Chain A
Amino acid sequence: MTAETTLEPVANPRASFLRRLPVVSHFNKSVGLQRFMLVVGLVLTGVFLLTALTAPLLAPYGFAQLSDADGSFPTQQAPGGKHLLGTTVGGYDVLSRVIWGTQTALLVIIVAVILSIFAGVILGLVSGYIGGWLDRILVVVADAIYAFPSLLVAIVMAIVISGGQSSLLGGILAAAISITVVFIPQYFRVIRAETIRLKAEPFVESAKVVGASNIRIMTRHIYRNATRTLPLIFTLNASESILTLAGLGFLGFGIEPSSAAEWGFDLNKALADTTSGIWWTGLFPGLAIVWTVLGLTLVGESINDLNDPRLRGRKRINRKAAAVAVPAASAGSGTETELSNP
């Protein structure tokens, strides 16, 4: 490929730093439906993040508040009046708990993903590059974790970590670490596969030939090339971690309502309400889960499509060229009929 025909690279390292950021660079090269999906995902995720950050201002009451100056909240009150989305069987304000729930979800995502990214990336690099018995053992362990239903692992970890007790920090950590355990194999696998591929690349061999140490090769040459897919797994895992957290809460291993607001727990408590026609206690926490997961998944899937040049849509060729092409095509078909019917 000569300099004249070199196509614009996926992430041009000479572009300004801002334009090279994962999501920004993806936005710039997207068109049409793909851009629409990315924008919808970004808006949903943005609303989620904003709500989490400004929860103390947005929420009318505290997440564990059962009464105000006017006395105790009524239980199972229909939406309207003082309680826009109604109250639960325990007397909590549904709107406040949905809003405060974003904070819990965000904290769990951050802790879980950071813990699993660090462990997964380091283990994947070492395992893939060094290989041998270490690699085999780590792969078997990762496979063994895969073999467990992820929720089961999460439950076991929740018991081990917090002993079933749940303060705010303990609850969030228990949920986050149990999610981490399930996610480490995913990061491990992705980074290990990339490392094994990169290990055979000539630029790694050329580093070996000049005498670079293994640690230098791993950190300087492989690490930066192997982590390109991380923004994608990050967004997809973030949405999965919310689902796992909600699942844990739903099963009763989550965070007590007095420690933090948690959508899965609220869904659990709303189970009994559904038969008596009380829809608001379950619907709104459920919608919050759908909203967040959908937003993150849309962002992740869009990034996935945009990273792949074969899936990425492109702007159509400009109209002038198209205008030339159309008469040519019609003239061509004219020729064909003319010659076949002499």
Chain B
Amino acid sequence: MTENLGSVSDHKEQDPKTVLEIDHLQVTFATDGGDVHAVKDVNLDVRAGEVLAIVGESGSGKTVTAKTILGLLPETAMSSGAVMINGTNVISLSPGRLRQIRGRDVAMVFQEPSTALNPVFTVGWQIAEGIRAHAGTDGSGRVSKKEAKERAIEALRKVGIPDPEHRVNYYPHQFSGGQKQRVVIAAALALNPGLIVADEPTTALDVTVQAEILELLRDLRDKYGTSIVLITHNMGVVADLADRVVVMYRGDIVEEATAKTLFAEPRQDYTRNLLAAVPHLGRNSASAGLAERPHQDGEVLVSADNLVIEYPGRLGTPAFKAVDGVSFTLSRGEVFGLVGESGSGKTTIGRAIAGLNRTTGGSLKVLGYEMLNLRERTFKPLRKDIGFVFQDPAASFNPQLTIGECIAEPMLIHTRPSEAQARKRVGELLESVQLPASYAGRYPHELSGGQRQRASLARALSLNPRLLIADEPTSALDVSVQAKVLELFKDIQEEFGFGCLFISHDLAVVDILSSWVGVLYKGKLVEQGIGSQVMGNPRHDYTRRLIASLPVPDPDEQAKRREEHRALLGI
């Protein structure tokens, strides 16, 4: 350890602008299953005015590393090594000293802005709280309420909240998701820390809002010289913002390089595979070269005509129109990709087709059955022809049943096979989704996320449905797993030939699978057409903005795109 001390001070003399230095960091968690080494041996440093991205899949230790920087680890964690912020080792600090450092030297931006803000206080109060908490500790004496508020307004202005003098008194619910994240960033900026740790700052946001927040973070670096540690799993975000990238895998650093080098010539196999798995808009499109809509001679499975779905409002407020006059058809053998941001109504349409939501207007015919005024008893026979794959594979399995029992469930309800028949069919299904048949005896929690989603697909296919609805089936998965599941999905769709409604917020993923793509915006289908045409030559303004906001995993190309679309994005 004394050796390290020497190197730390040496380094200081050579490069005085290092704001963060992590040295041989190890973090271990005590769990029911024994000790888990979340971070094994991490060394990295961040210089002033630099954006360092830490990327990795779930369980790689990137978030734990970030939390260690602020000393936010839970009690069950044990850390060793050194985390030096401006020459202070955070790991060995007392809680009181740690509080002084947080906010002043290093601040954090969280993933979910709506839970990071306290709903019962105004945003001004929440920003001022940090300012007042630090008053007196740096020799400046107490900060008056008025002065703290002025500084909060200043911070809000910095992050581009319009009319900050007025909106400083607003409550969090009066801001949109993107503005809330701006407020969180403003709170982080209030004391001008040299370093901001941003843990998945755009993951919870829509892609158009993500572009704005990324622009804001870039501004912070350029205008104020703030260093940013960016934790993310999204390679597009990395390409857009990062100067240097650290790739983590199972608690270790696999590769460290500048963003350009990393994307152009990754040295490690793991990085190469990771980058190859990232879907890239315009590459590997399912509809490449198509001139007209395929499968139109097939049976029409779903036809929506001026479909309206409303959710009843509270007493005295009008009903909320989640889906507003949408018309489309879906034929057998076709993959219809439905794209939209959160709240666009895409999931509502999928659920209505499966009979989980009621339609309130227009017409929705599913396998010839009119869903308006749905009666469960008459619809039930049709259910065996509809498969549904849910977003979260972990929650869509009954934890008390084995995978085999879960997959056999649709058969037990509709065809009542003998036990031997059911077991045989489950084995076949598992094999068709590339899982060993022995997995039938396992419980859902004993499978990884990707395996669970395969099993979920097997369950949806168990009765050879004519129609499959996949609601964001890969958004809970890591990119490398996502790539495999998508490939499997494509193969199976070609093999079984069912019609599929593929719902996703990710344009690149939709493009890989679907030949026909519909874009939803605020409950309206603003554009539909052949995938490659919608992506390559969007006609509606919203589609253009959506495609322009999507960061591509290539720093040079992304920089070019950013400049081209600057006007369109309004940044």
Stretch at the interface among B86-94, B205-213, B531-539: B86-94
* Contact partners of B400 in chain A: CB under 8 A: 13, 224-225
B219 contacts the other chain (CB 8 A): no
Verify A317–B30 contact, CB threshold 8 A: yes
Residue in A318, A325, A335 whose beta carbon sits within 8 Å of that of B8 in the complex: A335
B361 contacts the other chain (CB 8 A): no
- B383-416 Cβ-contact flags toward A at 8 Å (1 or 0): 1101010111011111111000000011001100
> In whole angstroms, how far apart are the Cα atoms of A284 and B296 in the complex?
87
* Contact partners of A205 in chain B: CB under 8 A: 356, 390, 396
Residue in A203, A321, A330 whose beta carbon sits within 8 Å of that of B92 in the complex: A330
A-B contact count (CB 8 A): 154
- A311-325 Cβ-contact flags toward B at 8 Å (1 or 0): 010111110011011
B443 contacts the other chain (CB 8 A): yes
Using A330-B92, A331-B1 as known contacts, say yes or no to A5 and B59 having CB atoms under 8 A apart.
yes
Stretch at the interface among B31-39, B118-126, B316-324: B31-39
Verify A334–B5 contact, CB threshold 8 A: yes
* Contact partners of A13 in chain B: CB under 8 A: 400, 443
A206 contacts the other chain (CB 8 A): yes
Residue in B28, B33, B250 whose beta carbon sits within 8 Å of that of A317 in the complex: B28
Verify B386–A209 contact, CB threshold 8 A: yes
- B234-274 Cβ-contact flags toward A at 8 Å (1 or 0): 00000000000000001000000000000000000000000
Within 8 A of B (CB), among A1-45: 1-9, 13-14, 29
Residue in B92, B396, B447 whose beta carbon sits within 8 Å of that of A3 in the complex: B447
Stretch at the interface among A96-104, A210-218, A239-247: A210-218
> In whole angstroms, how far apart are the Cα atoms of A340 and B391 in the complex?
52
Verify B356–A8 contact, CB threshold 8 A: no
* Contact partners of A14 in chain B: CB under 8 A: 443, 446
> In whole angstroms, how far apart are the Cα atoms of A293 and B388 in the complex?
50
Verify A332–B91 contact, CB threshold 8 A: yes
* Contact partners of B9 in chain A: CB under 8 A: 338-339
* Contact partners of A309 in chain B: CB under 8 A: 32
- B77-98 Cβ-contact flags toward A at 8 Å (1 or 0): 0111110100111011100000
Verify A328–B448 contact, CB threshold 8 A: no
> In whole angstroms, how far apart are the Cα atoms of A213 and B392 in the complex?
23
> In whole angstroms, how far apart are the Cα atoms of A328 and B81 in the complex?
6
Verify A314–B80 contact, CB threshold 8 A: no
Verify A221–B394 contact, CB threshold 8 A: no
* Contact partners of A208 in chain B: CB under 8 A: 355-356
A202 contacts the other chain (CB 8 A): yes
Verify B413–A210 contact, CB threshold 8 A: yes
Verify B5–A1 contact, CB threshold 8 A: no
B4 contacts the other chain (CB 8 A): yes
Verify B356–A209 contact, CB threshold 8 A: yes
* Contact partners of A314 in chain B: CB under 8 A: 30-32, 76
Verify B35–A339 contact, CB threshold 8 A: no
Verify B392–A321 contact, CB threshold 8 A: no
Within 8 A of B (CB), among A181-231: 201-203, 205-213, 216, 220-221, 224-225
- Interface of B (DSSP majority class): mixed
Verify A325–B82 contact, CB threshold 8 A: no
> In whole angstroms, how far apart are the Cα atoms of A317 and B74 in the complex?
14
Verify A221–B30 contact, CB threshold 8 A: no
Q: Which residue of B lies closest to A225 (CB)?
A: B400
B540 contacts the other chain (CB 8 A): no
- B4-29 Cβ-contact flags toward A at 8 Å (1 or 0): 11001100000000000000001010
Using A206-B459, A325-B80 as known contacts, say yes or no to A8 and B31 having CB atoms under 8 A apart.
yes
Using A7-B31, A211-B380 as known contacts, say yes or no to A206 and B388 having CB atoms under 8 A apart.
yes
A329 contacts the other chain (CB 8 A): yes
Verify B392–A211 contact, CB threshold 8 A: no
Q: Which residue of B lies closest to A206 (CB)?
A: B396
> In whole angstroms, how far apart are the Cα atoms of A46 and B92 in the complex?
47
Using A206-B388, A211-B380, A211-B384 as known contacts, say yes or no to A329 and B92 having CB atoms under 8 A apart.
yes
A121 to chain B, nearest CB (A): 16
> In whole angstroms, how far apart are the Cα atoms of A331 and B413 in the complex?
65
Verify B33–A201 contact, CB threshold 8 A: no
A275 contacts the other chain (CB 8 A): no
Verify B448–A1 contact, CB threshold 8 A: yes
A276 contacts the other chain (CB 8 A): no
Using A1-B448, A224-B400 as known contacts, say yes or no to A324 and B32 having CB atoms under 8 A apart.
no
Within 8 A of A (CB), among B39-89: 58-59, 76, 78-82, 84, 87-89
Within 8 A of A (CB), among B429-468: 443, 445-449, 451, 459
* Contact partners of A225 in chain B: CB under 8 A: 398-400
> In whole angstroms, how far apart are the Cα atoms of A22 and B211 in the complex?
51
Verify A332–B82 contact, CB threshold 8 A: yes
Q: Which residue of A lies closest to B94 (CB)?
A: A333
A79 to chain B, nearest CB (A): 49
B546 contacts the other chain (CB 8 A): no
> In whole angstroms, how far apart are the Cα atoms of A221 and B405 in the complex?
11
> In whole angstroms, how far apart are the Cα atoms of A216 and B8 in the complex?
65
> In whole angstroms, how far apart are the Cα atoms of A1 and B481 in the complex?
12
A336 contacts the other chain (CB 8 A): yes
* Contact partners of A211 in chain B: CB under 8 A: 380, 383-384, 410, 413-414
* Contact partners of B459 in chain A: CB under 8 A: 206, 210
B2 contacts the other chain (CB 8 A): yes
A327 contacts the other chain (CB 8 A): yes
* Contact partners of A318 in chain B: CB under 8 A: 35
> In whole angstroms, how far apart are the Cα atoms of A255 and B448 in the complex?
59
Using A202-B392, A318-B35 as known contacts, say yes or no to A336 and B88 having CB atoms under 8 A apart.
yes
B413 to chain A, nearest CB (A): 5
> In whole angstroms, how far apart are the Cα atoms of A205 and B397 in the complex?
10
> In whole angstroms, how far apart are the Cα atoms of A334 and B84 in the complex?
12
Chain A residues at the B interface, C-beta cutoff of 8 Å: 1-9, 13-14, 29, 201-203, 205-213, 216, 220-221, 224-225, 309, 312, 314-318, 321-322, 324-325, 327-336, 338-340
A sample of 22 inter-chain contacts (CB < 8 A) reads A3-B446, A4-B448, A7-B33, A8-B33, A206-B396, A206-B459, A208-B355, A209-B386, A211-B384, A211-B410, A314-B31, A314-B32, A315-B30, A316-B30, A318-B35, A332-B82, A332-B92, A335-B5, A335-B84, A336-B87, A336-B92, A336-B93
Given contact pairs A210-B384, A314-B31, A331-B4, enumerate 20 new A-B contacts (beta carbons under 8 Å): A2-B58, A3-B451, A8-B32, A13-B400, A201-B395, A202-B390, A203-B396, A206-B388, A206-B459, A208-B356, A210-B383, A210-B410, A224-B398, A312-B32, A321-B26, A328-B92, A329-B92, A336-B87, A339-B87, A340-B88
